[in-house]
Chains A and B, each alone.
Chain A
Amino acid sequence: MSAEIRKIAVWVEETHIEIGKAISPPTRKAVAVAVIANPFAGKFVEDLSPLMDIGAELGGLLGDRCVVALGITPTEAESYGKAAMVGENGELEHAAAILHPKLGGPLRVAVEKGAALVPSSKKMGGPGQVLDVPLGHKDAAYVRSHFDGIEVRLNDAPRANEILVAVAITDSGRPLPRVGGLTSDQATGKDGLR
Chain B
Amino acid sequence: MPDIEIRKFVTAVEEIFHEGGPVTDTPLQRAAIMAVIKNPFAGHYAADITGFMEDLRPLGLDMARRLVDLLGGNPSRVEGYGKGAIIGAGGELEHGALWHAPGGYAMREVLGGAKAIVPSAKKVGGVGARLDVPVTHINASYVRSHFDSMEVGINDAPKTDELAYVLVMTTGARIHNRAGGLASEEIKGEDGLR
Contact = CB atoms under 8 A, between A and B. Distances in A.
Interface in B13-69: 13-19, 27
A5 B10 contact: no
Contact of B5 (A8, A14, A15, A17): A17
Given A13-B154, A151-B155, A155-B151, A7 B14 contact: yes
Contacts of B155: 151
A7 B7 contact: no
A81 to B, nearest CB: 16
A69 B17 CA distance: 19
Contacts of A115: none
Nearest to A27: B8
Chain A: interface secondary structure? strand
A16 interface: yes
Contacts of B11: 11-12, 14, 69
B14 A8 contact: yes
Interface in B135-189: 151, 154-155
A160 to B, nearest CB: 12
B154 to A, nearest CB: 7
A154 B8 CA distance: 21
A69 B9 CA distance: 13
A17 B8 contact: yes
B110 interface: no
Contacts of B15: 7-9
B19 A14 contact: no
B121 interface: no
Contact-residue bracket for chain A: 20 to 34
A91 B144 CA distance: 39
A104 to B, nearest CB: 24
Contact-residue bracket for chain B: 10 to 19
Interface string A1-33: 000011111111111111000000010000000
B98 interface: no
A13 B17 contact: no
A114 to B, nearest CB: 24
Contact of B17 (A5, A10, A14, A18): A5
Contacts of B6: 16-17
A6 B7 contact: no
Contact of A9 (B8, B10, B13, B18): B13
Contacts of A10: 12-13
B18 A13 contact: no
A106 to B, nearest CB: 19
A10 B71 CA distance: 12
Nearest to B153: A153
A37 to B, nearest CB: 10
A6 B5 contact: no
A135 B31 CA distance: 24
The 10 closest A-B pairs by CB, nearest first: A17-B7, A9-B14, A14-B9, A8-B15, A155-B151, A7-B16, A12-B11, A15-B8, A11-B12, A151-B155
Interface of B: 5-19, 27, 151, 154-155
Given A16-B7, A155-B151, 13 more contacts: A5-B17, A6-B19, A11-B13, A12-B9, A12-B10, A12-B11, A13-B10, A13-B154, A14-B9, A14-B10, A16-B6, A17-B6, A69-B11
Interface of A: 5-18, 26, 69, 151, 154-156
